[in-house]
Structure 1
Amino acid sequence: MTLRRAWLILCLAAVALRLPDVGNPLIDYDEQMYLLVARRMWDGAWPYIDIWDRKPIGLFLVYAGSQAFGGDPIVAYHLLALLCVAGTAMLIATWLTRIASPWCGLVGGLVYMLWIASLGGRGGQAPVYYEPLVAAAAWAAWRAARGGRRGWTAAAMLLAGVALQIKPTVVFEGCFFGAAILFGDWRRGRALLALAGEAAAMIALALAPTLLAYGVYAVCGHGQAWWFANVDSIFLRGITPSDPVGGRVINTATIVAIPLAVAIYGIARHAGPMRPFLAGWLAAALLGWLAIPPYLVHYAMPLMLPIALGAGLAVRRSWAPAALLAIPAGWFLWLSGYPHRGETAMARRAVVASARLIDRYRGRGCAYIFLGPPAFYNASGSCLPTRYPFSEHLGNISERGAIGIDPQVEVARILASRPPVIVSRRPGSGDNPATVALVRTAVRSHYRRVGTTLGYAVYARTN
């Protein structure tokens, strides 16, 4: 086994594992919103101003960049995700080859690819795109902590900073990388005053991409809008009693339990100087997961980078850990119905049929997807009746008071504009009763049900 052969196997595995999902328009609810924002950006819309979400601008730029070459927009961002996953797996293999063997690298890369898919990463969730940056930042931080050139420190902080503009939770890993570098310099006898100056420079480098994003909005007169979406709204979002927080934690823990145990074993058995670095990185990633409720399963995806490295080390002297990992990996593939039994083709046909139904009744007006997927906006090309098109923002009670406006007032405004079509699922316990009541009243008075698509009722206006 050579590193190049491990790379080839990982690339083929990435294609085999992810190709069945390429083009699936319903693979993830969040991704539909990111794609909607990205496509409207090409039409001149500004995130946080013309179309609202609280994700960093970097994520929207990644999605927008995937659309630069035309073609099917869903296929485009899925192919970019495939390249990022393959690239991250290759970085893992390269790292493990340096400290162990290509065989360890192959196992680590496969663990990463299989488990991020099991954690909701079959499509284009944010960690899929930023994990190559984090992997590179971690390697640069390790080199810097071991006394490498100062360029490694700058690279580590800048890479972490760019990743921070794709997902804010990278801050936990970024802080660890910085602390590891400073600790290494302290052990080599650097003065405390010099360490303080170095820390300040590192913080400035890590925050540079974020400050650049804020600066662009501030210069254009929208600094407050950027700040609210990227900072304030994150802490205003609440957890409702109906949120199954405990169940989510247990579910995620069940998925990662075996690779986590194998990774801890591999790190503990590793005799090299990298052991404390990998242990600290894994602890920082775990802290990042546990610190951010409501613990949706894809929140745990960042765990898989240090876990994959540790799992790769575990197979250095024995096949037993690899056999142990193969059991849950096979179980996941079986449960997911790999290669998903034509799921992508069925989803594409269903979304096209949904768009046709919506377009038949909306004319030139804007459909209103109240409690429904943004994929309906993407497929139909409908104009947006609100700058809050993600149904969770106006329809979920946990968002009440967290989006900068009163959802009840905004829904009343939308309904007053007489949208020709309303699409909604049946309300649940976590939905905002005030906005649900408004839509129910409007539907009863002015709409008739003209069909059901993918479990969502479609109502056309009658007067």
Structure 2
Amino acid sequence: MTGATAPTAPGRSWYALVTDPRHRLAVLAIVAVAARALSFGNPMVHVDEQFYFLAASRMWDGALPFVDVWDRKPIGLFLLYAPAAALPLPWGTFAYQAMALGFVVATAMLVARLAVLAGWARGATFAGIAYILWLNPMGGVGGQSPVLYNLSMTAAALLTATASGPHRRWRGLAALALVGLSLQIKYSVVFEGMAFGLWLLWGEWRATRSPLRFVGYGVALVLVAILPTAAAYATYAALGHGEAFVYANFTSILARKPDPFGNAIGHLEGLALMLSPLVAMAFGSRRAGEGGDADVRRLLFLWFAVNLAGILAFGGWYEHYGLPAAAPGAACSAGFLGARHWRGRATPAILGIVALLGLGTVIVNRVKRGGPGQLAALTAAVGQGPGCLYVFSGPSIVYRTTGRCTLTAYIFPPHMEEIRERGAIGVDQIGEVRRIFAQRPAVVVMRRPYPGEQTEIQGVAIDELMRGYRRRTTLPIGNLPVMVYERR
């Protein structure tokens, strides 16, 4: 089945326009820009993205991730942010969001291509649109890590799906190389990568029935997948920081505590609400399709299932944890979305509802998290010096906007104060807070306490502020008050 244009039904000119493969890139680009426009230029989209941008900025100053700026995310994520972080604000914010926009459109195009190969050509463009729209309700309107690695993993899926014939092995190796690059953006892709590897090995066995070739190919697949991570470790080891790399990238992940049960279940319920329509539509796609490759359909369903299982296995279940499932889920939904009895009214209605839900999510989060004007006010209140800044809690991006020096490698506030991080960052958090205050930061920023925060650490910080600081001002950041303290 090719991506030929579907016949135009009476009154269905919109359908011919949208689904014509010649228009697909333009349609997906327009949808992506419209879906993400309200977030453009806002550096407060998400606390994670603030930190990624900040960490990449520190790299330009000579800081080394995991040593001078601590986090668990692989080095590849910060390298992706680095070009944007070299620019002054607000251009740096526009730059990383433009990068994310490009990744989203490219991923949507690959989702559509997978749908065509699976025999769901009539729903291919709709699947690409679904991918774009499903990101917003799950917090993917900016540059979250899955928004970036979904591109390489979807490309890996496409290479795996087409790994047959004389180029079978090279396509498989290229697929696992992309998995390896994705691992250096976030390690959670390991389950999907294993699924692709096993699928390729099964194809190798069916093609050759040679144990020697089977084992050799398997070793080669593993090697290309781990090569980027091995290279990153070797670089850190050569710099004398191999132990720091291993702890940040692997050991600390296992040391992190689970979220309180009530919070975790609440997050899971919200995530299930977002993903269940994709699951239902994927189920409805099982018997849909015109031609296509049944093996491609099986691979897509396997990819989606493994993705969902990986989300459950990692726990936490914050809204953005569902973002990796958007690509396989949208691809698997193509048969349903393109079915003749659905595409006339139900498909536009489904996509329209998701678009409105995503728009509402973006607006609500803008109100909750704040915008550029509030950040500018906080930046002015903190000032640019002299003296160092300590953001105990609040927006970490203020380190970048003020240009003030830092007193710790742990500049992402949740690492220091959240219950689930107790004993999981390589230092005693209470001791580190006391060490920071012993260096007499000139300005301290603190937001209102929140559930999930370690009360004993909050108490230590408040005691230090009471003894040596006075409140300069209190400003709103989103719907929360943020206090700025200056040293007496």
Place the TM-score, normalised by the shorter chain, in its bin.
over 0.9
Aligned to 1:223: 242
Separation in structure 1 between the aligned mates of residue 274 and residue 71 of structure 2, nearest angstrom: 29
Alignment pair present for 1:190 and 2:230: no
Gaps of 5+ in 1: none
Aligned to 1:461: 486
Aligned to 1:282: 304
Separation in structure 2 between the aligned mates of residue 387 and residue 51 of structure 1, nearest angstrom: 4
Alignment pair present for 1:207 and 2:232: no
Distance 1:310 1:398, change over 3 A: same
| CA contact 2:45–2:366 (8 Å) conserved in 1 | no
Aligned to 1:369: 391
Aligned to 1:357: 381
Structure 2 counterpart of 1:3, one-letter code: P
Identical residues among aligned pairs (%): 36
Separation in structure 2 between the aligned mates of residue 445 and residue 69 of structure 1, nearest angstrom: 39
| CA contact 2:281–2:337 (8 Å) conserved in 1 | no
Offset at residue 331 of structure 1 (A)? 3.6
What secondary structure is seen at the aligned counterpart in 2 of 1:12? helix
Moved more, 279-288 or 444-453: 444-453
Separation in structure 2 between the aligned mates of residue 444 and residue 437 of structure 1, nearest angstrom: 10
Alignment pair present for 1:445 and 2:476: no
Aligned to 2:23: 5
Alignment pair present for 1:138 and 2:157: yes
Aligned to 2:435: 413
Distance 1:144 1:341, change over 3 A: closer
Separation in structure 2 between the aligned mates of residue 445 and residue 323 of structure 1, nearest angstrom: 65
Offset at residue 269 of structure 1 (A)? 3.4
Structure 2 counterpart of 1:35, one-letter code: F
Tell me the C-alpha RMSD between the 2 structures: 2.3
Separation in structure 2 between the aligned mates of residue 26 and residue 308 of structure 1, nearest angstrom: 28
Alignment size in residue pairs: 461
Gaps of 5+ in 2: 6-19
Moved more, 111-120 or 314-323: 314-323
Separation in structure 2 between the aligned mates of residue 284 and residue 101 of structure 1, nearest angstrom: 21
Offset at residue 417 of structure 1 (A)? 1.2
| CA contact 2:111–2:328 (8 Å) conserved in 1 | no
Structure 2 counterpart of 1:133, one-letter code: S
Instruction: Trace 1:113-132 onto structure 2 (pairs within 5 A).
Output: 113-132=132-151
Alignment pair present for 1:422 and 2:444: yes
What secondary structure is seen at the aligned counterpart in 2 of 1:144? coil
Structure 2 counterpart of 1:36, one-letter code: L
- Alpha-carbon deviations, 1:233-290, whole Å to 9, x = none? 0100001436611111111111121122101221343474222211211111111111
| CA contact 2:443–2:487 (8 Å) conserved in 1 | no
Aligned to 1:92: 111
Separation in structure 1 between the aligned mates of residue 164 and residue 454 of structure 2, nearest angstrom: 50
Aligned to 1:171: 190
Distance 1:312 1:448, change over 3 A: same
Aligned to 2:53: 35
- Alpha-carbon deviations, 1:120-146, whole Å to 9, x = none? 100000011111111111111112257
Instruction: Trace 1:228-243 onto structure 2 (pairs within 5 A).
Output: 228-241=247-260
What secondary structure is seen at the aligned counterpart in 2 of 1:461? strand
Instruction: Trace 1:95-114 onto structure 2 (pairs within 5 A).
Output: 95-100=114-119, 102-114=121-133
Separation in structure 1 between the aligned mates of residue 344 and residue 67 of structure 2, nearest angstrom: 50
